[in-house]
Structure 1
Amino acid sequence: MTNCVQSWPEPVIRVQHLSDSGLLAIPERYVKKPSDRPIFVPASPSAAAGGEVVNIPVVDVSGLYSGDADLRRKTAAEIDEACREWGFFQAVNHGVSHDLMRRTREVWREFFELPLAEKQMYANSPTTYEGYGSRLGVEKGMSLDWSDYFFLNYLPARLRDQNKWPSPPVSCRELVEEYSKQVVELCGKLMKIFSINLGLKEDYLLEAFGGEGLGACMRVNYYPKCPQPDLTLGLSSHSDPGGMTLLFPDENVSGLQVRRGENWLTVTPLPNAFIVNLGDQLQVLSNAKYKSVEHRVIVNSERERVSLAFFYNPRGDMVIKPAEELITAEEPPLYPPTTYDQYRLYIRMKGPCGKSQVESIKSPQ
């Protein structure tokens, strides 16, 4: 990413500081145009108008490791259907320690409660985004989201620098290390199931991502209270540019919205579950059999939220293209080859922007 902008185009304002100041109206830079403003449509297992079920699928991942072959096949089929029809599912009984998940989220809540001067020591830049931040895109004058975050690298190991991870809180680095280790293990298991479900060899997607050199990183999102939540978003509509995201949300305050057709559905997170969503690189590799899906985050006037988004991505210099095994005369390749570094530069410049990027690179048919 040597050609990335080196500094932010305008002074960075911490959204948490704005929220704590007691303002009654949000600055104009955070006001979304009317068509992008949030609409609250709660998700539930019950049928919505017209009979459509409005909840992302829930998969008991432990079924993959059952001694019952029928249960293993059933669980794999549930994951496959969720990937093809939704691009999202909630994974329960996934094997990551629930206590570890809780303690990791709480230590990050402690970080955001630190005095501003202590957090500023970890202020980030557009070069790598690593550290304490308050905006994603670097385009001057762009609309801003109502959130702060902390971004850190975990894989490949050469990019991991724990000195850039917060301390205090004193337990943060240790918890992040163990949490990331367990989540990476879960991601690897899911990638194998994705490969098999697509009719590819078990390790195909892992190898396409770069094998042991693949990428993994985490963004801890902090969404402060907002006096006008109907005018802004915590995170604007986007599909994730990478491979797969495992989100550990705040189950006490709903915020994630998933696009389903023309509607935005608000996901009700289950306790101790990961919300799994597919990124653009899996859409490309699967030749759109699996699709990334637009999602966004709404904010709340009464409560702040902390969520942990773990991104499992290809190595930056890996050429990503549709798997040859999925290409036929009837289903030609939909996307040209490109590296992940080339691909993600767009969102680093523009910030969240729906699905415009992955749609724009489609090959003419």
Structure 2
Amino acid sequence: MVVPVIDFSKLDGAERAETMAQIANGCEEWGFFQLVNHGIPLELLERVKKVSSECYRLREAGFKASEPVRTLEALVEAERRGEAVTPVDDMDWEDIFYIHDGCQWPSNPPEFKETMREYRAELKKLAERVMEAMDENLGLAKGSIKGAFSGDGRHEPFFGTKVSHYPPCPRPDLITGLRAHTDAGGVILLFQDDQVGGLEVLKDGRWTDVQPLAGAIVVNTGDQIEVLSGGRYRSAWHRVLPMRDGNRRSIASFYNPANEATISPAVAAVGGGAYPKYVFGDYMDVYAKQKFQAKEPRFEAVKAPKSSPAA
């Protein structure tokens, strides 16, 4: 099985209907698809790769002193002494930091801020175009998903970016790169490494590679898109495997509802299943504690919102 690859430039041409069908298939059958010819300049993507790699080089010493590294070293040492060891299942072999409009960004390398501001602006526009395609495929009015995320324009949707590196791991049998999970939010756009793999999506009970593809943007749907679509679009389980060789770069941008926005199904639930109506901030409170657990109990936990809907 291969994660769908979609030529996004055909969305506005003679092959629009076929492209829309491909997007629908990616959302319904996979929860993941890759976009090529998406309109983001390849020159900008190359700059993003450069500044992200330089940023990690400045952080590398910190990762080598981090808890996952120390934990793995202790396991290997215990193994050398002949002791039985158990793989770690509660931490990830990754170096991460977040950037969004309300936080402090790295100032080194000097080009980082300017490059990432330009990149995030392009990604946000692309996310909104993808959401409009989802609107149409779901039979919703244009802008419906964005409207839900913004409380019909009363709040600003959250747009954040997670910059990750997965350094070479000497014992990938003893630790995870990133534990299996579904994403809490809306639409996720990932600029992944085009040389070092490791990202997998769960499809029909099998873990399938999200194959590295130069210049592509990987799109996946989060829990909020599952709710809005009444289960027609499913948020997919995915994970990152640690690799012995290579240093995997992963830049994921999340177009999420505002914390104050109220989320509920915008179309009839598939198969008669029901999703609750809730405030997104309440959902995130639950997700923070249950990220690596099944999503269904999270939906159950917010059926009685803790705060008053404000969207």
TM-score normalised by L of structure 2:
0.83
Cα offset, 1:85, TM superposition: 0.8
Cα deviation for residue 357 of structure 1 reads: 4.5
Partners of 2:107 and 2:67 lie apart in 1 by: 17
Contact 1:90 1:274 in 2 (8 A): yes
Counterpart position of 1:78: 22
* Residue of structure 1 equivalent to 2:58: 114
Contact 2:51 2:111 in 1 (8 A): yes
Identify the residue that residue 4 of structure 1 maps to in structure 2. none
How big is the shift at 1:176?
0.8
Written as runs of structure 1 = structure 2, the 5 A alignment for 1:284-299 is 284-299=227-242
Q: CA deviation at 1:346?
A: 2.3
Cα distance change on mapping 1:361 and 1:177 into 2, 3 Å: same
What is the letter of the counterpart of residue 244 of structure 1?
Answer: V
Q: CA deviation at 1:116?
A: 6.2
Give the structure 2 partner of residue 305 of structure 1: 248
User: How far 1:359 sits from its partner (Å)?
Assistant: 5.8
Q: How many residues end up aligned between the 2 structures? A: 279
Cα 1:340–1:133 change in 2 (3 A) is farther
Q: Deviation at 1:268? A: 1.2
Counterpart code for 2:123: V
Aligned pair partner of 2:165 in 197, 205, 222: 222
Which amino acid in structure 2 is aligned with residue 192 of structure 1?
A: E
Q: Choose which of 196, 209, 221 in structure 2 pairs with 1:253.
A: 196
The answer to whether the 8 A contact 1:152-1:217 is kept is yes
Aligned counterpart for 2:34 among listed residues 76, 90, 100: 90
Q: CA deviation at 1:299?
A: 1.2
Unmatched runs of 5 consecutive residues or more in structure 1:
1-53, 121-131, 135-140
Code of the aligned partner of 1:89: F
1:126-169 Cα deviation digits (max 9, x unpaired): xxxxxx998xxxxxx98111111011214xxxx3x4xx100111
**Pair 1:102-2:75 in alignment:** no
Q: Cα distance 1:362–1:351, how it changes in 2: closer, same or farther (>3 A)?
A: closer
Structure 2: unaligned runs, 5 residues or longer:
69-87, 304-311
Distance 2:25 2:67 in 1: 36
> Paired residue for 1:170, among 110, 113, 133?
110
Tell me the equivalent position of 2:222.
279
**What is the correspondence of 1:181-200 to structure 2 with a 5 Å cutoff?**
181-200=121-140
Q: What is the SS of the residue equivalent to 1:113?
A: helix
SS at match of 1:309: strand
Give the corresponding residue for 1:237.
Answer: 180
Conservation of the 8 A alpha-carbon contact between 2:45 and 2:215: yes
Is this contact kept in 1: 2:182–2:237, CA < 8 A? yes
Q: Is the 8 A contact 2:182 2:291 kept in 1?
A: no
Structure 2 CA distance, aligned partners of 1:334 and 1:361?
Answer: 14
C-alpha RMSD of the superposition: 2.4
* Partner of residue 60, structure 1: 7
Taking structure 1 as reference, are residues 220 and 239 closer, same or farther at Cα in structure 2, changes over 3 Å only?
Answer: same
Matched residue of 2:133: which SS? helix
Runs of 4+ in 1 over 4 A off after TM superposition: 330-333, 356-363
Structure 2 match to 1:327: 268
Residue 148 of structure 2 corresponds to residue 208 of structure 1:
yes
The aligned residue for residue 283 of structure 2 is: 343
